Homo-oligomer: A and B are copies of this chain.
Amino acid sequence: MMVDAPKINQGLEGIYFTESGICKVDGINGRLYYYGYSIETLAENSNFEEVCYLLLNGKLPKKSELSAFRKNLASERELPEEVIMMIKRASKKANAMDILRSAVSMLSFFDEDSGDNSEAANMRKSVRLISQIASVTAATGRAKAGKAYVEPDPKMNHVENFLYMLNGAKPEPDHVKILDTMFLLHAEHSSNASTFSGIVTASTLSDMHSAITSAIGTLKGPLHGGADEAALHMMNAIGKPENTVHYIVDALAGKKRIMGFGHRVYKTYDPRARIIKGRLEEMQNSADKEVRNLTNIALQAEKLMINKLGKSHGIWPNVDFFSGPVYTDLGIEDYLFTPIFAASRIPGWAAHIMEYLKGNRLIRPLEYYDGAIGKKYVPIKER
């Protein structure tokens, strides 16, 4: 590198690219707030539909507002026949996130607001995509299981309908409650990589479908949304609770990879992971052997990682670490974990995109060029 090289901010770590009023991630104290409400408060008192309203509108709804919003969400659940057919054909071998990315991209063809990038149209598209991404995820689950598509039921709430479209039967209320909390905990997390990629796309004044398509492709990676599936695969590789110590010792010696620990922003316990851990503690004695095994492996691994076998400081679990056992307990296949993350995060994505567009500035950072310049072009015969 040359002497006058500028500062390179690898990964843009610590770089602020905008102001935002949506989300505070307090990485030092392990706190998370959506529009000022702590995640613990919301998990205890609110629900995913209300949190969607909060994220899109910046305030909690009055009763009539929530009722209209829920009706709106329920009316947008149907998918175009062509998208359902695409999912069916692709489901045999395609990755579920590739299917979701393609489906959302294609939904632009059928969106009556396609081509209208006004704030009002973006709000309508956001609500529509919250409903449609859940429907695509459920349809993908059905198709991958070789089962027929289930039409949405507008009388059910968002998560209830999702489980109904996925399983073809009215879900148990406690399953709805648990999954609703998972959706709520994943709804928003400031400028994570997927949200940021959506903002970058929107910053050229492209459109909502392009931006959300980018966010889905970005979420897919195992360093982001793909981590929950990867963490479950690790737990499956550990196999039995009694193998956990051996695996973690090897992993800490650098011989194996540990998914679901550490976070760019949290330097302590991820508050979402703490809430989900509460659920795992209830699952420890599950009658289902697979669930019991996974749960105990997860809880043991967490303890060992935090203590780091007594050496130096520990490594904290993030939200992705405990999700797999909870989804497994709800009968959800691992390939749907990341699509469900997308179905949960869409209100956060949409909220950030709309907020950024209010004071839009094209996102275009620089690379530091470290090569030669002015090379002589040698004719091909002389190379």
Contact = CB atoms under 8 A, between A and B. Distances in A.
A378 interface: yes
Given A191-B365, A223-B204, A105 B108 contact: no
Contacts of A60: 377-378, 380, 383
A313 interface: no
Interface string A77-112: 000001000100110011101110110011011000
Given A63-B383, A374-B38, A368 B16 contact: yes
A368 B20 contact: yes
B383 A33 contact: no
Interface residues of A, number: 109
A58 B61 CA distance: 56
Contacts of A332: none
A30 to B, nearest CB: 14
Contact of A363 (B98, B196, B206): B196
A19 B1 contact: yes
Interface in A19-42: 19-24, 26, 31, 33, 35-38, 41-42
Nearest to A90: B109
A137 interface: no
A82 B62 CA distance: 47
A101, A193, A201, A205 — most chain B CB neighbours (10 Å)? A201
A108 B114 contact: no
A11 B377 contact: no
Contacts of A102: 102, 105-106, 108-109
* Closest 9 pairs (CB-CB, A-B): A204-B221, A210-B217, A206-B221, A11-B361, A36-B375, A12-B365, A214-B214, A204-B224, A20-B367
